[in-house]
Amino acid sequence: MTENIQQYHDIRLMALKESPTSFTGDYAREKAYGLEKLTRIVTPTDNRFILGVFVENQLIATIGFTASELPKAKHKAYIWGVYTRPNYRNRGLARKLLTKLCAVALAKDDIGLLQLNVNSCNKSVIKLYESFGFKEYGLEKDSLRHNNKSFDKLLMCLVL
């Protein structure tokens, strides 16, 4: 398990460094995470898990799922942390992970809505989500700032 934790940390840091405007997380902050915090993030629960694709024992793609624990919002779940290493892109790995995640969500009786956000400039990823039936329901203006530039996030959802 410790090896998987380290691999997750490595790919997450790669994502934050290589695509800083695709994630709200901060490279310097997450680089400092200790084993205890990383273990909490990676250890699956009924409401939270991370799926990954491995090639030759190397984690090359990830997707995260968190279901709400709030009584009035238990029907909602959030998709996060979608990332594929650059040299493995355009091979359908994000699509495979999203397909698996949607299947797991459908199998959960209480989940009726999947939500996510995506940088509004990231047209290829938006098209991927739209191909699954995700619809735009809002735009979060000035959602994050990087190098003194503002970025908006498109809010999307899929009714299951």
Prediction pTM value:
0.95
User: The domain spanning residue 33 has which CATH number?
Assistant: 3.40.630.30
Report pLDDT for 41: 93
Selection from 121, 119, 115, 122 nearest residue 137 by Cα: 115
The answer to whether the CB of 156 falls within 8 A of the CB of 135 is: yes
Q: Give the residue-averaged pLDDT of 104-112.
A: 95
Mean pLDDT in the chain?
Answer: 96
Domain that holds residue 113: 2-159
pLDDT tens digit string along 125-141? 999 999 999 999 999 99
Count of other CB atoms within 10 angstroms of residue 43: 13
36 Cβ neighbours under 8 A, 6+ residues apart: none
Q: How many domains does the chain have?
A: 1
Count of other CB atoms within 10 angstroms of residue 141: 10
pLDDT tens digit string along 20-55? 999 999 999 999 999 899 999 999 999 999 999 999
How sure is the predictor about 145, in pLDDT bands with cuts at 50, 70 and 90? very high
Whether 148 shows a pLDDT value over 70: the answer reads yes
Beta strands in the chain (DSSP E): 48-55, 58-67, 76-84, 113-119, 135-146, 149-159
Whether 3 shows a pLDDT value over 90: the answer reads no
Q: For residues 52 and 46, what is the distance between their CA atoms, to the nearest angstrom?
A: 17
Q: For residues 48 and 44, what is the distance between their CA atoms, to the nearest angstrom?
A: 6
